[in-house]
Amino acid sequence: MLLGLNPAIAAQQLESEPPEPGRADSSVVAMFPPQVPALLPPGTRLSFTRDSSTWSGAYTLADVLESVPGVYVARTGFNGLPEYVVYGGRGAAGIEIYWDGARYDPVGQDSVYVDPGTIPITLFKRIDVEIAPAVLRVYLVSERHDQVESRSEIHIVSGDFSIGSYSGIFQRRWPSGLGVTAAADFVSTDGASGPSRSDQRVDLWLKGEWILDPSTGVSYQIRRQHLENDAVDGIDQSVGVRSRIGNRTDFRFEFFKTSRRDGNGVRIDLGLFSSAWDDDSTVVDSLNTEQFQRSAFAGLGFNSRTMSASVRGRVADRWLDSELETRLAWVPVQGVMISGFGRRQEYPGDRVATRLEYSLSLYKGPFSVVGAVNRSDIIEAPTLLSDTAVSVDDASLSIGFNSGLLSGSVRFLKRDGFQPSAFPLVPILFAFDSTVSTDFVEARATLRLASFFTVSGWYSHPKALIAFQPPNHGRVDFTFKSRYWKRFRSGAFDLMLRVSLNSWSRGTAGLDAVGEPIELRGISFWETHLQFRIVGFNAFWNLRNAYNAQEDYFPGLRYPTNAQTFGVKWEFAN
């Protein structure tokens, strides 16, 4: 994980990743540049690279986001069942996901919420998370390859509850600039939620690209996902989780042109993308249950070491009429950054949503101070014509520190009240109770006690009761990782042991069907992850809920004890 304090240095590191170890620089060819913000205020970007994700034990985007302060992952059961991410009490409006620059909107039975548990991280080279006062913006950078020689990976995972996971990826580039990436990811389990159950997810993904030169390129990718989850009974024999069966299809076509070969200067982006779900109960026309949206976009931007500015427009044929988004970050003098983000969206039914964020950052040496303000008119569920804009005002003040021994930050936030929509697939949660304006404290820290031992964690404290935002919630990771075996060449042998604790106090989880509060009981979940690597071979063992906690992430839905998974990963060249 990279936590950039100096924004100019952080942007340069993120945009120019080093060649993979053991490969000759002469074989490097230009890659499609990632669609991520070049400059962000100090401490507001978390970046999870391919290598850090490999060592984390994470399988899905929901697992990755558990490392973000204040995030509660409402797991409705074991792997394969919905895993909703809750942040800041904003429901579906608390997280925005972009896949290679294109907005990843909910469709089908997730027409209100995106389920990050359905997004496997094996498809991505990097995941960036921008932390704004009341929203997380997640930028998924798909796998890309900068070597003429081919690269491939195979993952095999097994474990308790009949879980089986098989995934693979193949990447090839040619000196002409042509490239292809093909990937498949399959997961099957009985869900640990009752007899005669089955949960399956199948992802097929294909991307082709042609980089004419480092300043010009086109890309096309298509992803097909099949989801199949049987219904789950709650602890009291009520319907806990509805069944989910359907297929999601996404395609993206993009063209880019930059004025300079190093990615700086002026950049133009043009593209088309669409998302479709083949069976949806929320569509009014019962004779046509397919739900889809097609969009076209155009973007213009400028990047330098001290300034990043962009404007992007989008039009669509359903749910969204038009969208205009702009971003600016400027370092007028060393140690000062001024930044802003603005967006206006027009939806059917004469509905308009706006967002305006601006911040001032001061930084010198290891210290930083960032003040940010947000003013928004939020439409949480554009697919529902009854959902109208709600005005909110949020503010935050962050104090950060970054040194070789200790790094971290403390954020003080004030967030307006908001009434989120209920989770669409979990009927035992009928509604969220009305939230009120409240103050939050969020903190994160990493302590490097030695080159091989690190302690990291975060803590979140809202002063009012908000659904799935416990009054005291924290996570801590104790990590031992060493390359000390001198008989192996550098990087040939790695060994890691991580013990994690995710703990929260008693809180609330919303309202049931008769309007009674649902109690979120306080609990501590332990997780152990052991992994070693020899050259391109990785083997791991993971144990969730290691100390048999009897409470659950989601009230009324059982999470198993001592849930084991183990597996291997091979990486090949040529």
Q: Is the pLDDT of residue 67 over 60?
A: yes
Give the closest residue to 404 by CA, choosing from 458, 457, 451, 334: 451
Query: Among 116, 178, 122, 126, which Cα is nearest to 152's?
Result: 122
User: What secondary structure letter does DSSP report for 554?
Assistant: B
> What CA–CA distance (Å, rounded) separates 199 from 349?
37
Other CB atoms within 10 Å distance of the CB of residue 255:
14
In the chain, the amino acid numbered 180 is V
Residue 388 pLDDT > 60, yes or no? yes
What gap in Å lies between CA 42 and CA 334, rounded to an integer?
A: 13
Cross-strand partners of 352: 346
Q: Tokens 């009324």 belong to which residue?
A: 556
Is pLDDT above 90 for 73? yes
Of 157-161, 261-265, 423-427, 487-491, give the lowest mean pLDDT range.
487-491
- Cβ neighbors of 413 (< 8 A, separation 6 or more) are 88, 133, 134, 394, 395, 396, 397, 439, 440, 441, 442
Residue 229: name the closest of 213, 214, 216, 240 by CA. 240
What's the half-sphere exposure (Cβ side, CA atoms, 13 Å) at 201?
22
Is residue 15 scored above 80 in pLDDT?
Answer: no
Q: Which of 160, 181, 93, 182 is nearest to 132 (CA)?
A: 93
pLDDT of residue 551: 74
Q: What is the pLDDT of residues 167-190, one digit of tens each?
A: 999 999 998 899 999 999 999 887
> pLDDT-based confidence at 436, cuts 50/70/90?
confident
32-53 pLDDT, tens digit each = 889 999 999 999 999 998 888 7
Q: How far apart are CA 218 and CA 203, in angstroms?
A: 23
Gap between the Cα atoms of 25 and 29, Å rounded:
9
Helices (H), 274-313: none
Task: Give the three-state DSSP class for 244.
Answer: strand
Q: What's the chain's average pLDDT?
A: 87
pTM for this entry:
0.92
**Would you call 65 helix, strand, or coil by DSSP?**
helix
Largest CA distance in the chain: 69
Q: How big is the CA angle at 133 (ends 323 and 267), to the nearest 5 degrees?
A: 45
Give the pLDDT of residue 262: 79
CB atoms inside a 10 Å sphere around CB 450: 8
DSSP conformation letters of 309-361: EEEEEEEESSS-SEEEEEEEEE-SSTTEEEEEEEEEEEETTTEEEEEEEEEEE
Higher pLDDT, 266 or 281: 266
Q: What is the pLDDT of residue 367?
A: 95
- Segment 424-451 shows an average pLDDT of 89
Rounded Cα distance, 273 and 103, in Å? 9
Where do the domains of the chain lie, and which CATH numbers do they carry? 7-573 (2.40.170.20)
pLDDT digits (tens, 9 = 90+) for 92-123: 999 999 999 999 998 876 678 999 999 999 99
